Amino acid sequence: MNYTTFTYSDLKVEGRTASVTVANTGSMDGEEVVQFYLTDLASQVRRPLLELCGFERVFIPAGEKRTVSVELTDEVLGYYNGKLEFVVEPGRFELRAGGNSVDLIQTEFRLS
């Protein structure tokens, strides 16, 4: 349970690194579990709408910000196709970040 509030901003993907800025906008220090979710917008097979692709617990003093990053590895981006081959498809993806799976900010990126 948190006794403070957090605001998410500046979600971006550069190369294979996703990052988001988390600000403690409350009056007390606090911990937040920053969660990243991925959606494949052009997959050849049906995939889950939201796939947890990374998370990190961070301590943020009141009034301060932290940038949290995760690597988007092949294991996160890929899947096993109908022939049981592991593939990483190029295409459009949506990345979301937040403190839970409902209240999320989002951005889109392309994997080539």
The answer to whether 55 and 32 have CB atoms below 8 angstroms apart is no
Secondary structure (3-state) at 85:
coil
What distance lies between CA 1 and its chain's CA centroid? 21
CATH number for 6-111: choose from 2.60.40.10, 3.40.50.1820, 1.10.443.10, 1.10.1200.10.
2.60.40.10
Per-residue pLDDT of the chain (112 residues), as tens digits, is 679 999 999 999 999 999 999 999 999 999 999 999 999 998 877 888 899 999 999 999 999 999 999 999 999 999 998 899 999 999 999 999 999 999 999 999 999 8
